[in-house]
Structure 1
């Protein structure tokens, strides 16, 4: 098969969950004999002026030059529109069997659909999360109505949708097409073979430092624990628009010794080593399509504490054997941290066994089967 993946972010320049997923699936499909192209922002153009490059067998195509994708912690509509308008000509140049466009940030889906009609390709949309009424909370009544309308319209573009969790599938009860569930995966064997970092920590967070990740709640929980006489250390790995505010909050709470901001760690292997040097993974995010990072933490032997929030689909990956949910308050998170610090050692093997089911080899085969089925 000739397959086109469409998403503005691209791994390894951006290391978010969607980027990691597409890279692992694309790389795996190449190994299975397929031709894979990724149409994205040319994040490499500042160092390499070639608009078309190959990484791990995947053909990357720069649709436009690097740009800021976030404004004040939110996805830039202007950037999404610019990427979409720049997408048409490059994508039209080649004939593909499958065009798989990531639904968010919506606008590229319309261009991808148009190209698929002109070229006679099958258009598939991958949905990582469905916001629905949350748009009004996020943008207000008028702007939220526009966001919700655009989101709903994308489902008119295709009869075939991939979702990354059963939870996301359950939110699409209005959709009349075929829905395939292809979860996120984890580099299980790679994580298992890595050694720990030298520095030890009790807790660790990994993710982009934006508001809905709720790292401030983690810091306030750490403050509660400190005032109650507990002495826990925490690594925070990641960068983003909230970093300055979070470091300021940490200083105001007097957590300079307990909390260490490691910033963006360039190497995935180093991230996994930091995980293996910690005891418990804390992920307070209130909005996740799935959360690859929770599986990575389990593969490293860490139980997960994550938010019991309706838009946090990573809840679906939590059982009584590999983690626990909390009520998105600093007080409840503090209690769950105390519980996990007492029980994490006994959960280690169950965490590892759970993550093994989500190896990328299995996820690539699932994806391949979906593509082959829609082509029949």
Structure 2
């Protein structure tokens, strides 16, 4: 029986969901699922199917949401873990069959097919929250474990979803280019937080939040720092994130004699601490050449920190080409030039910070929540 005032019963399938007392968020898809589930649960009945982890060993409630933990206990991973992921998928599917949802939404490549199958069995609307299309690129981007992603994504996009909800026009275009018969809507990521009350560092500083993998091009940032150090010998570059290229990147920093300028901070557990590092830095840098949206750039804008990013369509779209500077993808000399320009000009820094604040408001929970809710009411046939 429905609660009074609840319009829809929504099942969200996400590989990971914040757990523990701190509700720490560790990745973009997880942040997207959590923020949207939290907002939708204000008016609707939301059930979340997620992995059983050391932080989430048992089912629990989070605000108005019921969170069901599925599969064997396993730690957070960004790639690989094929057996563990398949076990989670099967368990989530079985748990989903016990529900009676109006809509089922999958939030990443291993949950899209699960959501589609649950929806089919329970006569519910099937939706896929889509961040980027990697067909033909999985193995190149993350190695041999990308074979599973390649197979699942091809399977997902060959299904007829009631709606695919892309995080950007760029991603929507990539889907429709291959699958023009799919029904696709664009709802940008929700990025909504209070800016940490911190001051900028006393010396020039750069922040970067990224997985340490080839397509993120952290090597370009390290090479750029080696150039910038000639003008700013005390430059500090803090890199948050882990990945298979960490030792190679540390070696590059030593080779270029900037190991004292570049700090590898590894995995920072609390998202608030990540935001604090961004907020106190003079510049945020995203050298990545592969993104579906570029949520960290929007987070930097919310922190009042201008950015320098590769000129790629999704980041240009998410930033509205305001609040920062763009460089030619893969060109570390151009990156160094843009970073140096922004570090040198207080007037430019102030203007871009002001622009960023205006753009950030477009990604508020209320604004994005209304757009997502409109899509859900369309596919379920229910009035708001």
TM-score, normalised to structure 1's length?
Answer: 0.87
| Distance 1:77-1:278 versus aligned 2 partners, 3 A rule | same
Look up the match of 1:61.
68
- Name the CA distance, whole Å, in 2 between partners of 1:26 and 1:147: 24
* Contact 1:304–1:318 (Cα < 8 Å) also in 2: no
Return the offset for 1:68: 5.6
Look up the match of 1:297.
300
Look up the match of 1:42.
52
The alignment partner of 2:12 has SS state of strand
| Distance 1:224-1:9 versus aligned 2 partners, 3 A rule | same
Look up the match of 1:267.
270
Counterpart among 9, 16, 24 of residue 2 in structure 1: 9
* Contact 1:186–1:359 (Cα < 8 Å) also in 2: yes
Look up the match of 2:34.
23
Look up the match of 1:314.
315
| Distance 1:47-1:313 versus aligned 2 partners, 3 A rule | closer
Look up the match of 1:96.
101
Look up the match of 1:288.
291
CA-to-partner distance for each residue in 1:79-138, whole Å, 9 max, x for gaps? 432221222211111111110012413xx4333322222211111111110123434744
Kindly indicate whether residue 190 of structure 2 is the aligned counterpart of residue 185 of structure 1.
yes
- Name the CA distance, whole Å, in 2 between partners of 1:65 and 1:335: 49
| CA-atom RMSD in angstroms | 2.7
The alignment partner of 1:104 has SS state of coil
The alignment partner of 2:351 has SS state of helix
- Name the CA distance, whole Å, in 2 between partners of 1:147 and 1:22: 19
Look up the match of 1:364.
369
* Contact 2:36–2:190 (Cα < 8 Å) also in 1: no
**1:79-94, aligned counterparts within 5 Å?**
79-94=84-99
- Name the CA distance, whole Å, in 2 between partners of 1:94 and 1:129: 29
| Distance 1:358-1:112 versus aligned 2 partners, 3 A rule | closer
- Name the CA distance, whole Å, in 2 between partners of 1:217 and 1:67: 34
* Contact 1:265–1:271 (Cα < 8 Å) also in 2: yes
| Distance 1:360-1:97 versus aligned 2 partners, 3 A rule | same
Counterpart among 151, 156, 159 of residue 153 in structure 2: 151
| Distance 1:175-1:307 versus aligned 2 partners, 3 A rule | same
- Structure 1: any 5+ residue segments left out of the alignment? none
- Name the CA distance, whole Å, in 2 between partners of 1:117 and 1:157: 11
Return the offset for 1:145: 8.7
- Name the CA distance, whole Å, in 2 between partners of 1:143 and 1:61: 27
Return the offset for 1:307: 1.6
**1:241-252, aligned counterparts within 5 Å?**
241-252=244-255
- Structure 2: any 5+ residue segments left out of the alignment? 1-7
The alignment partner of 1:374 has SS state of helix
- Name the CA distance, whole Å, in 2 between partners of 1:136 and 1:52: 34
- Name the CA distance, whole Å, in 1 between partners of 2:45 and 2:184: 24
Return the offset for 1:198: 6.5
* Contact 2:12–2:49 (Cα < 8 Å) also in 1: yes
Look up the match of 2:334.
332
- Name the CA distance, whole Å, in 1 between partners of 2:164 and 2:269: 33
The alignment partner of 2:41 has SS state of helix
Provide the aligned length of Structure 1 versus Structure 2. 363
* Contact 2:52–2:70 (Cα < 8 Å) also in 1: yes
